[in-house]
Amino acid sequence: MNGIKAVDILAFSPSQTAFLIEVKDYRHPDTVIPSQLPEAVFNKVLHTLAALLPAAIHANNAEEKKISCQILGATKIQVVLHVEQPRSHSYVVDLADLKQKLKRMLRAIDPHPKVVCMKNLQKMD
């Protein structure tokens, strides 16, 4: 609908942190072109945040309204991009470069976005 997309997962922690989580799996060929990934994630984050206010006010579903209100009332927003790559030696996406691009693009929303994969999921940096 009008090119509007949202992040894959919204979560809210007891510490009042809203998590906006996007997942990309480059082990399958139909994933976003790597050079377009930072902009795609940025747009999904913006679209998700823009949709939360009307959902908090007008949602007919009580659970949808509740999570929208929680996210809007968060004291911190954490953007997390989970990227899985083929097991080969040549990776599709440079995670460090991707993280730097997201930091620049998302600095007003989350100055420290996380880029993770199954290998580095525990340390979240």
Taking alpha carbons only, the member of 98, 84, 93 closest to residue 27 is: 84
Whose structure tokens read 């979240």?
124
pLDDT, average across residues 23-38? 86
Rg (CA), the chain: 15
Q: Please tell me the predicted confidence (pLDDT) of residue 1.
A: 56
The residue-averaged pLDDT of 1-28 equals 91
Query: Where do the domains of the chain lie?
Result: 9-116
At 76-94, the pLDDT tens digits run 999 999 999 887 766 788 8
Would you say residue 123 has pLDDT above 60?
A: no
Q: Is the pLDDT of residue 124 over 60?
A: no
Report whether pLDDT(125) > 70: no
Q: Which two tokens stand for residue 68?
A: 């929208």
Nearest CA-CA partner of 78 in 110, 47, 54 = 110
SS3 71: helix
| pLDDT of res. 50 | 95
Closest CA to 93 of 22, 30, 38: 38
DSSP state of 64: H
Which residue shows structure tokens 């984050």?
45
Q: What is the pTM of this model?
A: 0.89
Per-residue pLDDT for 121 more than 60? yes
Lowest mean pLDDT among 30-34, 81-85, 94-98: 30-34
